[in-house]
């Protein structure tokens, strides 16, 4: 199985507001690299963080081992631990004494489908700390968000 590294970031100007996402995919064996970005007119930062991962995984043409590198605790915690209990509870989460639908459930369900194809591992990095690929993903995401102003 091919191994790749997927760097992702999202940005939002206002929350909600115009947003953007960016990803860089690297194949260490060949040195090949793919970078893409996009955005939405009215969104949230968390949705853009999720879209970066979705778009990156969707760009793969075959099942792969993917190291997802992100500065988003929301995305990484959701993928590595929260999603299992959300699914078991019908995509709901406890809020006090009541059950509420998981926020961004449409995107989490898309990620759930992609996780059935690819084998994922997760690496959390600190944002805006000089990590070259993270900084580039951030620049792409911010640039996309500015297209909607």
Is the domain spanning 2-146 CATH 3.30.420.10? The answer is yes
Q: Which residues contact 111 (CB under 8 A, 6 or more apart)?
A: 50, 53, 54, 57, 78, 79, 83
CA-CA distance, 147 to 149, in Å (whole number)? 6
Give the DSSP per-residue string, 29-67.
TTTEEEEEEEEEEEE-HHHHHHHHHHHHHHT-SS-EEEE
pLDDT band at 88 (very low <50, low <70, confident <90, very high): very high
Mean pLDDT of the chain: 96
pLDDT of residue 28: 96
What residues act catalytically? 9-10, 49, 71, 128, 138
What's the confidence (pLDDT) of residue 38?
A: 98
Helix runs in 59-131, H state only: 73-77, 83-88, 105-115
CA distance 143 to 98: 39
Task: Using the predicted structure, report yes or no on whether residue 79 has a pLDDT greater than 90.
Answer: yes
Asked if the model's pLDDT at residue 92 lies above 90, the reply is yes
Convert the pLDDT of each residue in 18-40 to its tens digit.
999 999 999 999 999 999 999 99
Q: Is the pLDDT of residue 119 over 80?
A: yes
pTM score: 0.96
């Amino acid at each position: 199985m091919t191994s790749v590294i997927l760097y992702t970031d999202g940005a939002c100007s206002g929350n909600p507001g115009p947003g953007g996402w960016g990803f860089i995919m690297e194949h260490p064996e060949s040195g090949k690299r793919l970078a893409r970005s996009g955005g939405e007119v009215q969104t949230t930062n968390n949705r853009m963080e999720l879209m970066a991962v979705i778009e990156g995984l969707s760009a793969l043409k075959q099942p792969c081992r993917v190291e997802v590198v992100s500065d988003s605790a929301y995305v990484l915690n959701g993928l590595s631990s929260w999603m299992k209990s959300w699914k078991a509870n019908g995509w709901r989460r406890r809020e006090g004494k009541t059950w509420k639908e998981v926020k961004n459930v449409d995107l989490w369900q898309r990620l759930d489908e992609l996780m059935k194809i690819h084998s994922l591992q997760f690496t959390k990095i600190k944002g805006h700390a000089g990590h070259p690929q993270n900084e580039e993903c951030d620049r792409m995401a911010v640039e996309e968000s500015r297209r909607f102003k």
